[in-house]
Amino acid sequence: MQGKRLATMLATCMLACAAGAANAQKAKNTLRIGLVEPISSMILYDGPNPEVGMFSRGLFDPLLCFDNRTGKFAPNLASSWKWLDDQTLELKLHTGVKFHDGSAFDADDVIYTFGWLTDPNNGLRFAENYAPFKRAEKIDQYTVRIHTNGPAPTAMLRLAYSTPIVPSDLHGKYQNKGDFGRKTPIGTGPFKVETFNTDRIVLVRNPDYTHGTPCKPAARVARVEAVPMPDTQTQIANLATGNIDFIKVSDKAQADMLAKQPTLKMSANEGLTFQFMAIDSAGRSGNAALSNLKVRQAMAMAVNRTLVARSVTPGGDAVVAPDALCLPIHRACAYSTKPPAYDPAAAKKLLAEAGYPNGFDVELTATPGSTGLAEAVAGELRKVGIRAKVDRITFAGYREKQRQGKQQVLVSLWTSGGLPDASSPVQFLFAPGARDYWHDKQIQAWMKEGMATTDEERREAIYKKAYDRANEQAYVVPLSTKPDVFIHNRDLVLDKTSGGVYGLDFYEVHWK
């Protein structure tokens, strides 16, 4: 609390100084940011840090772009594409594209990148992301074919989100491939590196970015400057004095306080993250009440989802209660049912019908970042007689508790694995393993069926059955979306539809 009060006082008293400094950067067309974590590599292959992902998307291009605004694929390094069969995707590449060092991009770079990604000895942390791909085949200098291991309905999304193309000659020279992103992060993207060290990163606009599209346009700011700034209060102070132009916030009180300042504005990107309450219906945790459908329905009815979520989650109207565990942006997301509506009186009646007229004891496990929401949910449950307590736990403790089968109710969030596809939440929650507290063989069968076809209409029909059953059985209650929230200079325009893991792309940002 003392830290928050200090941040509030510091921000309020310094805001008067901010306008002049920010206007100077506006005139220079420069964007300045403070980095929460040290950046050791500039390409996403080397780690899951969201800030690395932001730099990677600015410096490198994949073959395709997925447009969150339209829900459709668009060209990037590939100018066109077509499926020859359900395991072969042919892509025509843009001609005239150059890497930042002036070398020409062509099919050899695609073949090399996929050869490296599909090498079982590549040592990549997320090698499973590339398991759908079998090999890449060069047809001519500007035509390639991507072969998959059977039908791969998420292959094009992987091409768009997870597969930046590297220069074959340069990347191939490194014995340790991680050195490429640390020493010579050269791509074809809308920005290129001017300075990269532990104290400072500077990107400049790539004047040769001629293959941009509305999905991934050429950069509008001329320069991006980034310095390490891991402390939140330091970030707030630098934003207040105009030394940086935006910060990402997760604390609602901070966001609301800063958004009220006359020189600042809040922008919320809906993104791919949602928050949920998962209930142990399989009885793994030993809480017999949770195996009763009426009890689970009562728990869902007890929570005013939108009100609760907006009380602790920043983002204002962008925080919404979804009606299923998939979001509209997810490909193949479909459902015809909804979670039980908020109705405390009906919840109490269901509890009595289930044999718990006086309620019961239950423990909510809250992962880091979800403790405030869990406390709010527990408060709602207590209003209908459910004696809920919250276990605030580390990620390591959560994993151990999960494996041991001691998780009664989980309040947490899911980022969709960074992939806007209906398969992602289903696999994350219901696949056999430590996370599975439902043992629903029917959903697991639909999960496999949905990954065995590339027919989008058929996939929608399959996932509709899975998501409807999850609602009908009240296995997992979707509580709310969790937007990526930024506080920024009022004259800075942030795109609200970024598909990146950070929630913002440099090339979409511009000054008024």
Q: Which of 182, 203, 223 is the last residue in one of the domains?
A: 182
Residue 499 has pLDDT above 80, yes or no: no
Note whether 297 and 422 are same-domain residues: yes
What pLDDT, on a 0 to 100 scale, did the predictor assign at position 126? 86
Torsion of CA 403, 291, 338, 377, to 10 degrees: -70
* 396-416 residue pLDDT tens: 999 999 999 999 999 999 998
Note whether 176 and 278 are same-domain residues: no
* 430-480 residue pLDDT tens: 999 999 999 999 999 999 999 999 999 999 999 999 999 999 999 999 999
Residues 66 and 499: beta-carbon distance below 8 Å? yes
Cβ count near 501 (within 10 Å): 23
Note whether 314 and 172 are same-domain residues: no
Beta strands in 399-463 (DSSP E): 409-414
Residue 12 has pLDDT above 60, yes or no: no
Residue 169 domain-assigned (yes or no): yes
User: Burial of 80 by CB count in 10 Å (0-12 exposed, 13-18 middle, 19+ buried)?
Assistant: exposed
Residue 250 domain-assigned (yes or no): no
Pairing, β 409-414 against β 387-392:
unpaired
Residue 308 domain-assigned (yes or no): yes
* 33-57 residue pLDDT tens: 999 988 999 999 998 788 999 999 9
Q: Give the pLDDT band (50/70/90) at residue 162.
A: very high
Q: What mean pLDDT is predicted for residues 291-306? A: 97
Note whether 163 and 293 are same-domain residues: no
Note whether 472 and 347 are same-domain residues: yes
The domain spanning residue 90 has which CATH number?
A: 3.90.76.10
Note whether 302 and 161 are same-domain residues: no
Most confident among 129-143, 262-276, 484-498 (mean pLDDT): 129-143
Helices vs strands, H then E, count in the chain = 16, 20
Residue 10 has pLDDT above 70, yes or no: no
Residue 187 domain-assigned (yes or no): no
DSSP conformation class of 421: B
Which of 34, 21, 27, 490 minimizes the C-alpha distance to 225? 34
Q: Give the pLDDT band (50/70/90) at residue 288.
A: very high
Residue 176's domain spans which residues? 43-182
* 184-217 residue pLDDT tens: 999 999 999 999 998 999 999 999 999 999 999 9
Q: Give the pLDDT band (50/70/90) at residue 178.
A: very high
* DSSP helix/strand/coil, 469: helix
**Summary mean pLDDT of the chain:** 93
Note whether 303 and 427 are same-domain residues: yes
Residues 145 and 197: beta-carbon distance below 8 Å? no
Q: Which of 134, 156, 182 is the last residue in one of the domains?
A: 182
Number of domains forming the structure of the chain? 2
Residue 62 domain-assigned (yes or no): yes
Note whether 313 and 459 are same-domain residues: yes
Helix H, strand E, coil C: the string for 72-126 is EEEECCEEEEEEEECCEEEEEECCCCECCCCCECCHHHHHHHHHHHCCCCCCCCC
Which of 278, 277, 313, 273 minimizes the C-alpha distance to 415? 273
Q: Please report, rounded to a whole number, the percentage of residues in the chain having pLDDT higher than 70.
A: 94
Residues 398 and 409: beta-carbon distance below 8 Å? no
Residue 290 domain-assigned (yes or no): yes
Residue 340 domain-assigned (yes or no): yes
Q: Please report, rounded to a whole number, the percentage of residues in the chain having pLDDT higher than 90.
A: 86
The domain spanning residue 328 has which CATH number?
A: 3.10.105.10
Residue 196 domain-assigned (yes or no): no
Pairing, β 223-228 against β 201-205:
antiparallel
Residue 17 has pLDDT above 60, yes or no: no
What residue type is 507 in one-letter code? Answer: Y
Q: Which of 159, 182, 205 is the last residue in one of the domains?
A: 182
Note whether 314 and 452 are same-domain residues: yes
What pLDDT, on a 0 to 100 scale, did the predictor assign at position 495? 78
What pLDDT, on a 0 to 100 scale, did the predictor assign at position 271? 85
Q: Give the pLDDT band (50/70/90) at residue 104.
A: very high
Note whether 279 and 173 are same-domain residues: no
Note whether 178 and 278 are same-domain residues: no
Least confident of 12-26, 71-85, 227-241, 294-308: 12-26
